[in-house]
Amino acid sequence: MRTQVAIIGGGPAGLLLSQLLNLAGVETVVIERKSRDYVLSRIRAGVLEWGTVELLRQARAGDRMDREGILHGGCLMSDGDRVFRIDFHQGAGRPVMVYGQTEVTRDLYAAQDALGATILHECEDVALHDLDGEAPFVTLTRHGQPLRVDCAYVAGCDGFHGVSRPAIPASVRREFEKVYPFGWLGVLSATPPVSDELIYARHDRGFALASMRSPVLSRYYIQVPLTDRVEDWPDDRFWAELKRRLPADVAARLVTGPAIEKSIAPLRSFVCEPMRWGRLFLCGDAAHIVPPTGAKGLNLAASDVHYLSRALIAACTRGDLAGIDRYSAEALARVWKAMRFSWQLTMLLHRFPDHSPYERGMQEAELDWLRNSPIARAALAENYTGLPF
Ligand code: RFL
Ligand code: PHB
């Protein structure tokens, strides 16, 4: 099989890249390890920056998002019972869109199907070859049969545990990592959200977040120790702990119900440099991981796709290589700024087991500054709604 761009990974990054390339007349083959149903069963991000919203529209995958997504002009922050609001319009002149990653992925599959795109699911033993030469290729096994895909470029969109990043030689690769000493326990429930806007809650017992997917579907998170297992958290215990961490008046109106999904994700910050080696380009979680506190993971995947799609379209249709030479530096400049924001918000809002009263004092001072300073709130709004691509 031959194509122009082989895309490893059919998550949001791989599908969006494939869609934008196909619309510009560039041929792709998406190579995904799991089944379509499996990919669509993942419950992950919920907040889209405005740049991501516009990119999905540009990819002709934004119609349902525009109908069903919920525009949010602000979010709430609490510290115990003290609550204040970050106004996104006032601070940054734009809102965010609450629309789940699962739905984004579903819409991208539908858009790819409409274009007749090639997406190979259930691919095993995926391996990348001759990435530093003129004629790279990908080998894999599918339904017991070996397959070879020859291409001009390879896009590594295969997430943190994929095969693309390790294909960059260790002598070239630099990795930067911070692992946080806790995880987030997330629950999806068929209950009305407790608040019209997301609530980011700092509390002495640990962080909590009240989010949503629709007027009848809520998503809640609480900070838990890394040693905890999902089985340690039956629904009753989860709801009781969430209520303790939210402001009392909010907790009093929280509607609880059975968890439809419950999972624990560890928190980490990770960056790999460079994001390009030869004819391989890393994109999304394959190159970087942020803690979910700033809601940046999916949005960073989208901004990488923006830069990479432009670069590959110029290379494949006009022979213009300037964009692919610029890609790594251009994407990383934005990645590090989103890293910084996600780290800052994580440090501000969580209970760290090794924090002394001094560090708790620093958190309280920063929250008090945010509460009282329109400039501080505007800076948060600018980052939360997304720095320009
Ligand atoms: P994905 O979504 O991980 O997709 C990668 C795809 O590659 C496939 N794959 C392979 N395919 C072929 N060969 C191989 N060897 C392969 N290895 C892997 C995988 O099956 C998968 O389909 O990466 P992508 O596309 O870069 O998208 C990034 C986002 O998914 C990610 O940044 C966010 O979901 C991060 N994230 C969250 N972000 C938020 O903004 N808010 C959240 O609440 C939030 N929750 C989460 C998250 C990530 C999680 N992970 C990765 C464990 C919760 C979880 C549990
Ligand atoms: C979510 O709804 O899953 C969500 C929202 C905001 C975050 C993280 C996760 O910061």
Give the active site residues: 72, 200, 292, 296, 384
Q: Is 156 in the pocket of ligand 1 (CB under 6 A)?
A: no
Q: Are residues 31 and 119 in the same domain?
A: yes
Q: Is 301 in the pocket of ligand 1 (CB under 6 A)?
A: yes
Name the percent of the chain lying above pLDDT 90: 98
Q: Are residues 104 and 11 in the same domain?
A: yes
Q: With bands split at pLDDT 50, 70 and 90, how would you rate the model's confidence at 121?
A: very high
pLDDT at position 195: 98
Give residue 312 CA to ligand 1 midpoint distance, Å.
22
- Residues 6 or more apart whose CB falls under 8 angstroms from that of 181 comprise 225, 226, 352, 353, 354
Instruction: Please count the structural domains in the chain.
Output: 2
Q: Assess if residue 161 is contained within a domain.
A: yes
Q: Is 292 in the pocket of ligand 1 (CB under 6 A)?
A: yes
Q: Are residues 13 and 65 in the same domain?
A: yes
Please report the atom of ligand 2 found closest to the CA of residue 292: 8
Average pLDDT, the chain: 97
CATH of the domain at 137: 3.50.50.60
pLDDT at position 280: 98
Residue 330: is its pLDDT beyond 90? yes
Q: Are residues 228 and 263 in the same domain?
A: yes
pLDDT at position 151: 98
pLDDT at position 43: 84
Q: Assess if residue 77 is contained within a domain.
A: no
Q: Assess if residue 322 is contained within a domain.
A: yes
Please report the atom of ligand 2 found closest to the CA of residue 98: 2
Q: Is 219 in the pocket of ligand 2 (CB under 6 A)?
A: yes
Secondary structure (3-state) at 72:
strand
pLDDT at position 203: 97
Residue 155: is its pLDDT beyond 90? yes
Q: Are residues 158 and 302 in the same domain?
A: yes
Best probe residue, ligand 2, of 211, 218, 290, 345 (max atoms within 8 Å of C-beta): 211
Please report the atom of ligand 1 found closest to the CA of residue 289: 32
Closest to 185 measured CA to CA, from 226, 137, 132: 226
Q: Are residues 298 and 253 in the same domain?
A: no
* Interval 203-225 mean pLDDT: 97
pLDDT, tens only, 224-272 = 999 999 999 999 999 999 999 999 999 999 999 999 999 999 999 999 9
* Interval 67-78 mean pLDDT: 97
Give residue 284 CA to ligand 1 midpoint distance, Å.
8
Q: Assess if residue 81 is contained within a domain.
A: no
pLDDT, tens only, 232-244 = 999 999 999 999 9
Closest to 100 measured CA to CA, from 183, 219, 221: 219
- Residues 6 or more apart whose CB falls under 8 angstroms from that of 111 comprise 19, 59, 60, 61
pLDDT at position 215: 94
User: Crossing angle, helix 357-372 and helix 322-349, to 10 degrees?
Assistant: 110
Q: Are residues 138 and 30 in the same domain?
A: yes
Q: Are residues 116 and 149 in the same domain?
A: yes
Q: Assess if residue 83 is contained within a domain.
A: no
Alpha helices in the chain (DSSP H): 12-23, 36-40, 50-58, 63-68, 88-92, 101-115, 235-245, 248-252, 297-318, 322-349, 357-372, 374-384
Global pTM reads: 0.97
Ligand at minimal distance from the CA of 220 is 2
Give residue 211 CA to ligand 2 midpoint distance, Å.
6
Please report the atom of ligand 2 found closest to the CA of residue 213: 2
Q: Report yes or no: 45 and 101 within 8 Å, Cβ to Cβ.
A: yes
Q: Assess if residue 79 is contained within a domain.
A: no
Closest to 282 measured CA to CA, from 303, 311, 312, 308: 308
Q: Are residues 245 and 128 in the same domain?
A: no
Best probe residue, ligand 2, of 42, 199, 200, 219 (max atoms within 8 Å of C-beta): 219
* Interval 190-212 mean pLDDT: 98
Give residue 103 CA to ligand 1 midpoint distance, Å.
14
pLDDT at position 154: 98
Query: Which residue has better confidence, 245 or 43?
Result: 245
Residue 217: is its pLDDT beyond 90? yes
Give residue 129 CA to ligand 1 midpoint distance, Å.
24
Q: Assess if residue 78 is contained within a domain.
A: no
pLDDT at position 237: 98
Closest to 258 measured CA to CA, from 230, 231, 229, 235: 235
Q: Indicate which residue's Cα is closest to atom 9 of ligand 1.
A: 158
Q: Assess if residue 247 is contained within a domain.
A: yes
Q: Are residues 242 and 381 in the same domain?
A: yes
Q: Are residues 22 and 111 in the same domain?
A: yes
Q: Are residues 223 and 256 in the same domain?
A: yes
Q: Is 297 in the pocket of ligand 1 (CB under 6 A)?
A: yes
pLDDT at position 209: 98
Ligand at minimal distance from the CA of 124 is 1
Domain that holds residue 283: 5-72+94-176+268-346
* Interval 360-377 mean pLDDT: 97
Give residue 237 CA to ligand 1 midpoint distance, Å.
28
